[in-house]
Chain A
């Protein structure tokens, strides 16, 4: 193990390390902590410049309810869910199919097609912006929930296929071969042999795509204009304009927007990190 385990050092070094840890964490999360404190303060505290001190009164419930009663936050949150959930379902389903095809079958264009999905995943959004926006306007998908999740699903299919293909490629190929010798139909091999084995990959992708799409801001701006279809990220920006210098409300709204992916991360941590660090180890 590197660095040398602290247990093997002197007790005082171990103590110093353990004492320093919470301090380092506090410093690292200082911006977050400060914004949380701000979100439970009263407007009076903020105007008098009380940023770090003890809040003169606790307004946790008041501030967070105010966000919902004084703005469209509830609508934005709902929109975010309605965009994110179908995106996850569609992109993961398509990627299971495509990843299976690219990992199991040997055909001439398998590698070029795989690289197409990989490359698509890295391109800047801006190169897609004008055509996708124009297409959405033409087909009536502009400023709708469906217009957003269809695009996200298509785009995320690239990453999901990359992930799935590598995952399936790492499975023992004998499984497929022996099923073929038994005369099992191809789609049955996919459904009964492979699909149960890729469950961990599905879980990892689901949490990752959920987070990516929930946190999207660019496409929310490109593909919507009204309140009806805006997700919470774009909503928070609108609130920022509405609550000018009401930093306690802006902070509360920001933290609310961040909450679902954070909850997802803490609940599904193992899968989340397994997904993110794909390729970081050989």
Chain B
């Protein structure tokens, strides 16, 4: 009975009393709604769509023409050689892309000095990361070009003899044919990965440079007095302190490797004969291609890629959760 007068009084005060419980939601709602519509819900839609066959069209009544096929898309994937090629290339990307981490560390160690003009050198070394991958892809596509590019002209200088005819046109006689890296099914993927490493090394380098800036100087000096130097110093004293930088470098490199799309689309479009495809590009190719749209099958490819990425995301979140717990 004693509750009743309180309740009637509480109506205007309710908002005030629950202010701290309500306020976060008011701040969160715009971002949350936006993020849910464009990011969270589409993930589930894609997973769901991967169980359908759909060409993306709607009938006259506005109903989707998708038909339920269950797990058939995944069965088809299992028998699809292009899928396995893409998966294998994804693995090659993952492994070789990891070279960016030690290479970035190496350049960071090389540049971690304070001579005049060092700031300029550091930013110039970082430069490739700022350029769009489309442009990096075009640059390297031309770099590898056997007729007009750098590889071609270096090769001609080393192995070819130039003869100029009366009209002034040059022809080349080569002891070994000029390699056409991006047209060779064996080499093209490695050519693209090498191009992709260029900006990624720059990224890892900047992470390590920042990390090196924050290495405790007293520990280094103490280790030096104990006679540590060179590799042993790096391995036992410096690297343990660089662990946060290494962690972030590995995370961004894995994500970068699995997201590789731009360079492949620019340099080879998955060719020759599908030999440079990765899941990200293969998905795009099957979902929207000249041969008609296959949204269901594409979604199945995307779901596989998502599942692979989920392993890394879970690991990352788990690490973050440990840090959160510690900081409380």
Binding site for B on A (CB under 8 A): 1-3, 5-7, 14, 17-18, 21, 24-25, 28-32, 34-35, 38, 46, 48-49, 51-52, 94-95, 97-98, 100-102, 104-105, 107, 110-111, 113, 115-120, 122-135, 150-151, 153-155, 157-158, 161, 186-187, 190, 211, 214-215, 217-218, 221-222, 233-234, 236-237, 240, 245, 247, 250-251, 254-255, 257-258, 261-262, 264-266, 269, 273, 276-277, 279-282
Contact = CB atoms under 8 A, between A and B. Distances in A.
Contact of B139 (A32, A49, A269): A32
A102 B23 CA distance: 11
B187 interface: no
Interface in B14-28: 19-21, 23-25, 27-28
B1 interface: no
A124 B112 contact: no
Nearest to B308: A124
- Which 5 pairs show the lowest CB-CB distances between chains A and B? A154-B38, A215-B132, A101-B27, A131-B42, A98-B31
B302 interface: yes
A157 B34 contact: yes
B112 A3 contact: yes
A122 B250 CA distance: 13
A29 B244 contact: no
Query: Most chain-A Cβ atoms within 10 A of its Cβ — which of B56, B131, B321, B324?
Result: B131
Nearest to B294: A130
A125 B41 contact: no
Query: Most chain-A Cβ atoms within 10 A of its Cβ — which of B31, B114, B124, B302?
Result: B31
Contacts of B113: 3, 5-6, 17
28 contacts: A1-B220, A2-B215, A2-B234, A2-B238, A24-B110, A25-B124, A31-B140, A31-B150, A32-B139, A35-B139, A49-B148, A94-B31, A101-B23, A101-B28, A102-B28, A118-B320, A123-B43, A124-B309, A126-B283, A130-B298, A134-B56, A158-B35, A222-B284, A254-B138, A265-B130, A279-B244, A281-B210, A281-B213
Contact of B206 (A97, A118, A276): A276
B139 A254 contact: yes
A51 B153 contact: yes
Given A119-B313, A215-B133, A281-B213, 15 more contacts: A7-B115, A29-B124, A31-B143, A31-B150, A35-B139, A35-B142, A35-B143, A49-B153, A94-B31, A131-B49, A154-B39, A158-B35, A257-B135, A277-B210, A280-B245
B123 A269 contact: yes
A217 B135 CA distance: 10
B38 A105 contact: no
A264 B145 CA distance: 31
A140 to B, nearest CB: 14
A124 B124 contact: no
A101 B255 CA distance: 28
Contacts of A17: 113, 115
Contact of A126 (B112, B238, B245, B302): B302
A1 B47 CA distance: 50
A260 B74 CA distance: 43
A28 B148 CA distance: 21
Given A261-B132, A280-B210, A111 B23 contact: no
Contacts of B138: 236, 240, 250-251, 254
B193 interface: no
Given A52-B153, A131-B45, A155-B39, A281 B211 contact: yes
Contacts of B153: 49, 51-52
Nearest to A34: B150
Contacts of A35: 139, 142-143
Interface residues of B, number: 109
A98 B135 contact: no
B305 interface: yes
Nearest to B131: A258
B115 A127 contact: no
A127 B143 contact: no
Given A24-B110, A129-B287, A1 B217 contact: yes
A257 B266 CA distance: 14
Nearest to B156: A49
Given A127-B42, A265-B130, A95 B31 contact: yes
Interface string B244-259: 1100110000010011
Contact of A122 (B24, B28, B123, B316): B316
A110 B24 contact: yes
Contact of B283 (A100, A129, A264): A129
Contacts of B121: 21, 25
Contacts of A113: 28, 32
Interface in B303-326: 303, 305-306, 309, 312-313, 316-317, 320-321, 324
A219 B111 CA distance: 36
B139 A215 contact: no
Contact of B317 (A118, A264, A266): A118
A159 B112 CA distance: 29
Query: Most chain-A Cβ atoms within 10 A of its Cβ — which of B41, B135, B213?
Result: B135
Contacts of B128: 28-29, 32
A5 B262 contact: no
Contacts of A101: 23-25, 27-28
Contacts of A269: 123
A237 B132 CA distance: 12
Given A18-B115, A161-B31, A236 B134 contact: yes
